[in-house]
C-alpha cells in the first residue's frame, strides 16, 4: 500500500502541529498586552498560518506537488538546497525540547510532582521516537483520531459559559495599540505549520490543497480565539494575565463528586495532542537528516534522540539556558523560516511565470 494521506488526515496533521502548549498559555500571554480584547489579537495572529499554508499550496502547485527535496533543488539549485533542510533540522531540534520543557513543567506542577524530570523526558522522547518510526500515513491516521479529542476541549469549555460574566469582556475593543502589541505573542502561538511543505506531496487529492489550507487556518483561528474568549469571559482579563497555565487553572476550579478537579481529565486529552505535535515536528527533522546524510528513514529517526533528550534536560535544569538560548533561537529560526517562505514564493513566481500550468 502506498504512503498516502487523505485530505482529512492532512488537515488533522497540520491542525495538530499548531495545537501544542499554546492553548494553555495563550490567553495569559495575550491578556498581558491586549487585556479583554486578547481574543481579537488571537484572530489577527492567524495571518501567519494563512500565509504559510497558502504559500505552501501555491509553491506545491507551481512545482507539480513534488517532494520537499525537489522543491528545494528546483528553487535554490543543487548546493544551496542543502542549507534549507538544516534550518528545519535546527528548528525542530530547538522547538521540540521547548514543548517538552513546558509540558514537563506543567506535569511537575500538577499530576506528576513525585516523578523525576529525567524520567518524564525519557518517556516523552521514547514516545516521540516510537511515533516517528511509523510512516506518515500512520501519523496521519493518529492525527485523525486525536484531533477530535483535542477539539473536544471546545465542548468541555462550553460548560463554563454559564459561569462567566459578560462584563469581563467589556469593552470589546479596549485599545488598538494594545491589540497590536499582543500580535507578536499571538503569532508565536501559531508556529508549526511549516511542516506542510513536507506533507503536500503525500496528499491523494492535491487539487484541494488551497481549500484545505483555508479550513485549517480558520479552524485553528477559531479554536484559539474561542479559548481566549471563554477564559476571559470566565476569569476576567486581570486574573487571566496573572495566571500562567490559565486553561489548566480553569479546569482545576471545577469539582465533581468522584474527582476533585477536572485537571487530570484535561491533561489526558491535551497530553495526546502534545505527543502528536512533537512527533509531527520531528518529521521535517527526520526527513532532512535522511536527505542530507543519505540515511535510511528509520535510522534517521534514532539519530536525533540523544540531542533531543539532552537539550530538553539541560533546558529543564538550567532556566538561563532555556530563556537565553533556546527561546530566542527558536524565535530567530521561526523568523528565518517565514523569510524563506516569502523568498521561495517570489522565486517560484518568477521562475514559473509563463509556464503552462502557472
Partner 1 sequence: MVTTLDNSIEKNLNLIYSNMPLNDNFITRNIKLKGNISCYILYINGLVNQQYIENSILYPLLFKIDEELYVDNTLPKYLAEKYIPSYNIKITNDVISITNSLKRGKCVILVDNSDNCLICNTTGGTHRAVTESNIERHVRGDKESFVENLEMNISIIQQKLRNSHFKMEEFILGKESENDVVLMYIDNLIDTKILNNIRNKLNSINAKYLPDTGYIAQYIEGHKFSFFPQTKTTEKPDKVISDMLQGKAVIMINGSPQVIILPAVFIEFFQAFEDYSNRFFIGNIIRILRVISSFIVIFLGPMYLVLLEYNAELIPISLIKIIINSRLGIPLNPFLELLFMEFFIELLREGGLRLPTPIGQTLSIIGGIILGDAATKSGIVSPTTLVVVALSVIASFLIPNYEMSLSIRFLRFPMLLLSKLFGFFGIITGAYLLLLHLTSIDSFGIPYLTPLAPLKTSGFKDLFIKMPINSFNKMTNLFKFPNNKEH
Q: Which of residues 208-247 bind partner 1 (CB under 8 A)?
A: none
Closest CB to partner 1 among 244 and 272?
Answer: 272
Closest CB to partner 1 among 170 and 257?
Answer: 257
123 binds partner 1 (CB under 8 A): yes
155 binds partner 1 (CB under 8 A): no
Long-range contact list for 169-175, CB < 8 A, 24+ apart?
A: 169/36, 169/229, 169/232, 169/233, 170/36, 171/36, 172/36, 172/37, 172/40, 173/37, 173/40, 174/34, 174/35, 174/36, 174/37, 175/35, 175/37
6 binds partner 1 (CB under 8 A): yes
| Grid cell locating 172 | 470589546
The span of 13-21, 127-135, 160-168, 317-325 binding partner 1 (CB under 8 A) equals: 127-135
Alpha carbon 353 to its chain centroid, in Å, reads 33
CB 209 within 8 A of CB 61: yes
Closest CB to partner 1 among 39 and 266?
Answer: 266
Closest CB to partner 1 among 50 and 121?
Answer: 121
7 binds partner 1 (CB under 8 A): yes
94 binds partner 1 (CB under 8 A): no
What minimum distance in Å lies between the beta carbon of 67 and partner 1? 17
206 binds partner 1 (CB under 8 A): no
Question: What's the chain's Rg over C-alpha atoms?
Answer: 20
Closest CB to partner 1 among 203 and 341?
Answer: 203
No. of H helices and E strands in the chain? 18, 0
Closest CB to partner 1 among 259 and 332?
Answer: 259
Helix axis angle, 263-292 relative to 117-133, nearest 10°? Answer: 60
145 binds partner 1 (CB under 8 A): yes
Residues pairing with 203 in the sheet: 5
| Grid cell locating 348 | 517560484
The DSSP-derived string for 105-156 is HHHHHTT-TTS-HHHHHHHHHHHHHHHHHS-HHHHHHHHHHHHHHHHHHHHH
What minimum distance in Å lies between the beta carbon of 96 and partner 1? 16
Whether the bond between 274 and the residue before it is cis, its omega within 30 degrees of 0, is no
Tell me the number of residues near partner 1 by CB under 8 A: 41
What minimum distance in Å lies between the beta carbon of 126 and partner 1? 8
127 binds partner 1 (CB under 8 A): yes
142 binds partner 1 (CB under 8 A): yes
Q: Which of 27, 30, 107, 231 binds partner 1 (CB under 8 A)?
A: 107
204 binds partner 1 (CB under 8 A): yes
Q: Which of 173, 259, 342, 358 binds partner 1 (CB under 8 A)?
A: 259
Q: What is the DSSP letter of 194?
A: G
Residues in the site for partner 1, rule: CB under 8 A?
Answer: 1, 4-9, 107, 111-112, 114-115, 119-120, 123, 127, 130-131, 134, 138, 141-142, 144-146, 204-205, 255-261, 263-264, 267-268, 271-272, 275
Amino acid at each position: 500500500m502506498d504512503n498516502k494521506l487523505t485530505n482529512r488526515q492532512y488537515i488533522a496533521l497540520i491542525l495538530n502541529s499548531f495545537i501544542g502548549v499554546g492553548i494553555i498559555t495563550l490567553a495569559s500571554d495575550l491578556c498581558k498586552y491586549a487585556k479583554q480584547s486578547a481574543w481579537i489579537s488571537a484572530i489577527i495572529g492567524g495571518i501567519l498560518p494563512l500565509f504559510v499554508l497558502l504559500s505552501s499550496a501555491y509553491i506545491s502547485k507551481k512545482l507539480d506537488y513534488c517532494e520537499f527535496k525537489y522543491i528545494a533543488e528546483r528553487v535554490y539549485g543543487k548546493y544551496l538546497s542543502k542549507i534549507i533542510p538544516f534550518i528545519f533540522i535546527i528548528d525542530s531540534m530547538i522547538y521540540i525540547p521547548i514543548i517538552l520543557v513546558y509540558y514537563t513543567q506543567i506535569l511537575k506542577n500538577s499530576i506528576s510532582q513525585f516523578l523525576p524530570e529525567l524520567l518524564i523526558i525519557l518517556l516523552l522522547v521514547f514516545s516521540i521516537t516510537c511515533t516517528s518510526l511509523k510512516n506518515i500515513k500512520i501519523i496521519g491516521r493518529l492525527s485523525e483520531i486525536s484531533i477530535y479529542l483535542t477539539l473536544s476541549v471546545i465542548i468541555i469549555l462550553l460548560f463554563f459559559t454559564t459561569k462567566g460574566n459578560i462584563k469581563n469582556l467589556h469593552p470589546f475593543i479596549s485599545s488598538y495599540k494594545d491589540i497590536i502589541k499582543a500580535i507578536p505573542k499571538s503569532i508565536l502561538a501559531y508556529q508549526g505549520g511549516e511542516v506542510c511543505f513536507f506533507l503536500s506531496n503525500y496528499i491523494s487529492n492535491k487539487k484541494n490543497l488551497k481549500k484545505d489550507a483555508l479550513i485549517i487556518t480558520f479552524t485553528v483561528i477559531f479554536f484559539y480565539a474561542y479559548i481566549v474568549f471563554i477564559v476571559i469571559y470566565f476569569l476576567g482579563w486581570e486574573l487571566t494575565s496573572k495566571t500562567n497555565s490559565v486553561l489548566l487553572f480553569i479546569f482545576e476550579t471545577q469539582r465533581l463528586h468522584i474527582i476533585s478537579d477536572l485537571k487530570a481529565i484535561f491533561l489526558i486529552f491535551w497530553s495526546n495532542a502534545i505527543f502528536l505535535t512533537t512527533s509531527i515536528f520531528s518529521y521535517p527533522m527526520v526527513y532532512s537528516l535522511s536527505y542530507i546524510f543519505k540515511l535510511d528513514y528509520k535510522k534517521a529517526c534514532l539519530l536525533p534522540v540523544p540531542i533531543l533528550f539532552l537539550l530538553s534536560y539541560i533546558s529543564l535544569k538550567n532556566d538561563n539556558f532555556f530563556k537565553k538560548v533556546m527561546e530566542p533561537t527558536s524565535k530567530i529560526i521561526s523568523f528565518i523560516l517565514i523569510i524563506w517562505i516569502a523568498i521561495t514564493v517570489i522565486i517560484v513566481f518568477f521562475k514559473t511565470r509563463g509556464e503552462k500550468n502557472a
